[in-house]
Amino acid sequence: MKKKTGVEIFGSGNIGPALMSKIRRNPNLELKLVAGIDLQSEGLARARELGYATSAEGIKAVLECSDAAIVFDATSARTHKEHAPMLEKANKVAIDLTPAKVGPSVVPCVNLGKGISKSNVNLISCGAQATIPIVHAIGQCVPVKYAEIVATVSSKSAGPGTRQNIDEFTRTTAKGVMEVGGAAESKAIIVLNPADPPIIMRNTIYAMPDGKVAIDEVCASVEKAVEAVRKYVPGYEVTVAPFQNGDHIVVGVEVVGAGDYLPKYAGNLDIITAAAVAVAEHYHHTLNG
C-alpha cells in the first residue's frame, strides 16, 4: 500500500475548510498543517476542531513543515506571487488556488499531466474550472475564434480573498480560456450576486465558432466533458444544452456544492477545491512512482 502524501493548507478563508473535508476523505493525502495569519479565523478554528495542527505564523510555518510535500495556497494572488519562490526553494509543490498565474494553468479533465511543472500549478479560478471544459469540448468539434464566459456566484460564498482578486480573476480566467480551453480570443466576467436566499453557482458560455457547426456533435462533446468533470465534481451539470444563437453557441452550466463547509449554493468553492485535490492526487502518484 502506498504511503500517504503529506499536504498543508496555506490560507484560512472559505476555501481552507472546504479543502479540509475533501482531504479528510481522500485515501492518498494526509493533512499535516493549516496555516494562516489570524489565530482567531474560522478556518483555523475549524482545523483545530477537526484535530489538525494549526499556525498563525503564515509562510514561516508553511516552510518549516517538513513532512508536507504539497502546499494548497488559498491566500491571494499578490501573496502567492510573493511566496512562490520561497515554496520552490523549500522543494514544496504549490497548488495555487488564487489567480496569480505563476505556474502553468490546469483544469484536471482537460490537461492534467500534460507538461505540468513539478513545483507550481495554477487552478486559474472557480469560473475557469466550470467553463473551460465546455469551451474545450466545443473546440473539439469546431475552432472557437472567440469565447466569453460569465460566472455568477453568491456573494455569501465570496470571501475577502476572492473580492481582492476580482481583477486578477478576470484576466487569468480569460487567459485560461485561451491557453487551456483553446479559444483564439476570450473575455471573462464574474458576478457576485447578493440574492437571499443565495443562488447556486451559474455559468454561461458564449462561443463563436470559426466554421460550420454540427450542433449534435457539439452536444455529444459537451456531454462527454460534463461526465469527465462529474468524476471529481458530482454537482456539475448542464442546465442549458448547447444551442446556436446567430453567430455563437450558448451553454449554461450549474455547480451545486457538496456542502463541505458552506451550504450547497457555494459550488464555486466546491469545484476549485475538488480540482485542487485531483491535482494533488496526480502528484501523489507521481511522487510515489
Positions annotated as catalytic residues are: 126
| Cβ neighbours for 139, distance < 8 A, ≥ 6 positions apart | 181, 182, 183, 207
Gap between the Cα atoms of 44 and 25, Å rounded: 19
Gap between the Cα atoms of 228 and 226, Å rounded: 5
Q: How would you class 268 by CB atoms within 10 Å of its CB: exposed for 0-12, middle for 13-18, buried for 19 or more?
A: buried
Q: Are 73 and 96 in contact (CB under 8 A)?
A: yes
Order the strands of the 201-209 sheet from edge to edge: 186-193, 144-154, 201-209, 248-255, 236-245
> How far is Cα of residue 98 from the mean position of the Cα atoms in its chain?
8
Gap between the Cα atoms of 179 and 278, Å rounded: 20
Gap between the Cα atoms of 169 and 181, Å rounded: 16
Kindly tell me the sign of the dihedral angle through the C-alpha atoms of 100, 129, 132, 240: negative
Q: Which residues of 35-47 are buried (b: 16+ CB within 10 A; e: fewer)?
A: bbbeeebebbebb
Query: Angle of helix 15-25 relative to helix 42-49, nearest 10 degrees?
Result: 20
The DSSP line for 148-181 is EEEEEEEGGG--HHHHHTHHHHHHHHHHHHHHTT
**Please, what is the Cα angle at 50 between 44 and 53, to 5 degrees?**
55
C-alpha cell, 180: 487551456
